[in-house]
Amino acid sequence: MSVRRIALAIIVIAGLLCGLAFAQAQKGAKKGAAKAQKAQGEEKDRTLGYDDTDVLPDQKWRVHDVARPRPRIITPGTESSPERPGRAPADAIVLFDGKDLSKWAARMRSGEMGEAKWKVESGYMEVTAGTGDIITREKFGDCQLHIEWASPAEIANKSQFRGNSGIMLMSRYEIQVLDCYENPTYADGQAGSMYGQWPPLVNACRKPGEWQSYDIIFEAPRFDGDKVAKPAFVTVLHNGVLLHHRQQFIGRTPHARVGTYAPHSPEEPLLLQNHGGDKVRFRNIWIRRLGGYDQQ
Ligand code: MG
């Protein structure tokens, strides 16, 4: 073969190789574009969730699961000011709106419900001597409770006899109400204590006569026959300050004794304590039953 022919053959082969490379490149580019387009399409679909991610441990849902039910929409309430109580969230049961005691009853010795006779005026209710405790007509178990209270502005006594009342969850488990502003008393009987069991983490009391708030998240105990399957737990905020963080009740909260559990219904009335007629005031009381995750 002459040199000329060899050169010609090389040129032809080089040309063929170039053409092949070009075709491959074009094919690759097309494939890449299609892949990008596909990815873009998938991204659009994923704006509301995923259906191909890992399943979360101990859950039936995937990470960002597109099929997971979205939480119910609740219009939130408003904050209270010293002069004016706030508004409850839309799904709350309002137990007292400052007008009447229609949601409350007196607890009779017979176990029957009587008329609640605490004084109601100017948007609040006030513990009234000789009328006993009051309980809600409706019963509750796991709940979120908001309640506002004020100790008597006039200081008439000391320690446990200064503005004593109590929030008795399920009529049994007391979060203490007491004027603890410059009023020494035993730690596990201070305002916000789990009475006789755990003192509050801090003393966040306002001055007597000023409105104060408790926000309480309560998990009711569960019983299996006579046995405690799960004790009660409570989280308490006093004027927005944490007093208890899912702390466990030992049992009921009697005075000067270690309380124990006795089986009761899954829901029981909420009770406000009349402690010797101390004129404690309450306003803006609302409660929400607590459900689990993924419930509509
Ligand atoms: Mg009390």
Confidence band of 35 (pLDDT split at 50, 70, 90): low
pLDDT, tens only, 241-262 = 999 999 999 999 999 999 999 9
From 150, 275, 278, select the one nearest 214 (Cα to Cα).
150
Q: Which residues, 6+ apart, have CB-to-CB distance to 84 below 8 Å? A: none
Ligand 1 center from residue 176 Cα (angstroms): 5
pLDDT, tens only, 97-142 = 999 999 999 987 777 889 999 999 999 999 999 999 999 999 999 9
Contact of 255 with 276, CB cutoff 8 Å: no
From 198, 129, 199, select the one nearest 164 (Cα to Cα).
129
Ligand 1 center from residue 229 Cα (angstroms): 28
pLDDT exceeds cutoff 70 at 7: no
- How far is the C-alpha of 179 from the C-alpha of 164, rounded, in Å? 7
Q: Which residue has the higher pLDDT, 5 or 59?
A: 59
Contact of 244 with 235, CB cutoff 8 Å: yes
Exposed, middle or buried: residue 42 (CB in 10 Å: 0-12, 13-18, 19+)? Answer: exposed
Ligand 1 center from residue 143 Cα (angstroms): 20
Ligand 1 center from residue 122 Cα (angstroms): 24
Ligand 1 center from residue 194 Cα (angstroms): 10
- How far is the C-alpha of 187 from the C-alpha of 160, rounded, in Å? 11
Ligand 1 center from residue 232 Cα (angstroms): 19
Ligand 1 center from residue 99 Cα (angstroms): 24
Q: How far apart are the first and last CA of the chain?
A: 87
Q: Which two tokens stand for residue 91?
A: 């799904």
- How far is the C-alpha of 200 from the C-alpha of 238, rounded, in Å? 9
> What number is the average pLDDT over the span 209-219?
98
pLDDT at 18: 42
pLDDT at 107: 82
pLDDT exceeds cutoff 60 at 8: no
Residues with CB under 5 A from ligand 1 (ion): 164, 166, 176, 273
**What count of other Cβ atoms lies within 10 Å of the Cβ of residue 73?**
7
Q: What 3 state SS string does the chain have?
A: CCHHHHHHHHHHHHHHHHHHHHHHHHHHHHHHHHHHHHHHHHHHHHHHCECCCCECCCCCCECCECCCCCCCCCCCCCCCCCCCCCCCCCCCEEEECCCCCCCEEEECCCCCEEECCCEEECCEEECCCCCCCEEEEEEECCEEEEEEEECCCCCCCCHHHCCCEEEEECCCEEEEECCCCCCCCCHHHCCCCECCCECCCCCCCCCCCCCEEEEEEEECCEEECCEEEECCEEEEEECCEEEEEEEECCCCCCCCCCCCCCCCCCCEEEEECCCCCCCCEEEEEEEEECCCCCCC
Ligand 1 center from residue 178 Cα (angstroms): 7
Ligand 1 center from residue 214 Cα (angstroms): 14
Q: Which two tokens stand for residue 95?
A: 């137990």
Task: Please tell me the pTM assigned to this model.
Answer: 0.84
pLDDT at 143: 98
